[in-house]
Chains A and B, each alone.
Chain A
Amino acid sequence: MRFKQEKNPAGDEAERALEAEVRASSAGGPRDAQPPDPYWQNLPVRINARIDGATSGKALSIAWAARVAIPGVVAIVSFLIGLHYYVPEPPRTIVSVESVVLSLPPTAIDSLLMDPGRADPSLTLREIGVDVFNVSREQITDYLVASGNTTAAVEELTERETSALLAALGTPPR
Chain B
Amino acid sequence: MEPRSDSDLVREVRNGNRQAFTELMQKYQRRVYWLARRIVTDHDDADDVVQETFVKAYLALGEFRGDAGFFTWLYRIAVNLSLNTVRKRQVMNYLRESELLGKLLPSPDDPSASVEQKELESVLQRAVATLPEKQKAVFVLRYYDELTYEEIAKVLKTSVGGLKANYFHALRKVQEYMRNEIQTGEEPGRR
Contacts and interface: CB of A to CB of B under 8 A. Distances in A.
Interface in A136-174: 137, 141, 144-145, 150-151, 154-155, 157, 159, 162-163, 165-166, 169, 171, 173-174
B162 A3 contact: yes
Contacts of A88: none
A15 B174 CA distance: 13
Given A8-B161, A29-B188, A141-B95, A3 B25 contact: no
Nearest to B58: A51
Contacts of A1: 79-80, 83, 134, 137, 156-158
A165 B91 contact: yes
Contacts of A18: 168, 171-172, 175
B84 A159 contact: yes
Nearest to A19: B171
A10 interface: yes
Nearest to A144: B95
A83 to B, nearest CB: 39
Interface string B161-185: 1111111110110110010001000
A116 interface: no
A105 B33 CA distance: 65
Given A150-B105, A169-B94, A5 B159 contact: yes
Interface stretch (B2-10, B67-75, B117-125): B117-125
Interface residues of A, number: 53
A15 B168 contact: yes
Contacts of B21: 51
A150 B94 contact: no
A8 B165 contact: yes
Taking residues whose C-beta sits less than 8 angstroms from the other chain, chain B's interface range is: 35 or more
B143 A19 contact: yes
B90 interface: yes
Interface string A108-120: 0000000000000
A145 B104 CA distance: 9
Interface string B108-126: 0000000010011011110
The 5 nearest A-B residue pairs measured at CB: A6-B165, A26-B124, A29-B122, A3-B162, A3-B158
17 contacts: A1-B79, A3-B166, A5-B159, A22-B175, A25-B182, A26-B124, A26-B188, A30-B120, A31-B122, A35-B43, A40-B30, A144-B95, A144-B101, A150-B92, A163-B87, A166-B90, A173-B83
Interface of B: 18, 21-22, 25-26, 29-30, 33, 37, 43, 47, 50-51, 54-55, 58-59, 79-80, 83-84, 86-88, 90-92, 94-95, 98, 100-101, 104-105, 116, 119-120, 122-125, 130-134, 136-137, 143, 156-159, 161-169, 171-172, 174-175, 178, 182, 188-189
Given A1-B79, A8-B165, A15-B171, 6 more contacts: A10-B168, A15-B167, A25-B178, A54-B59, A150-B101, A173-B87
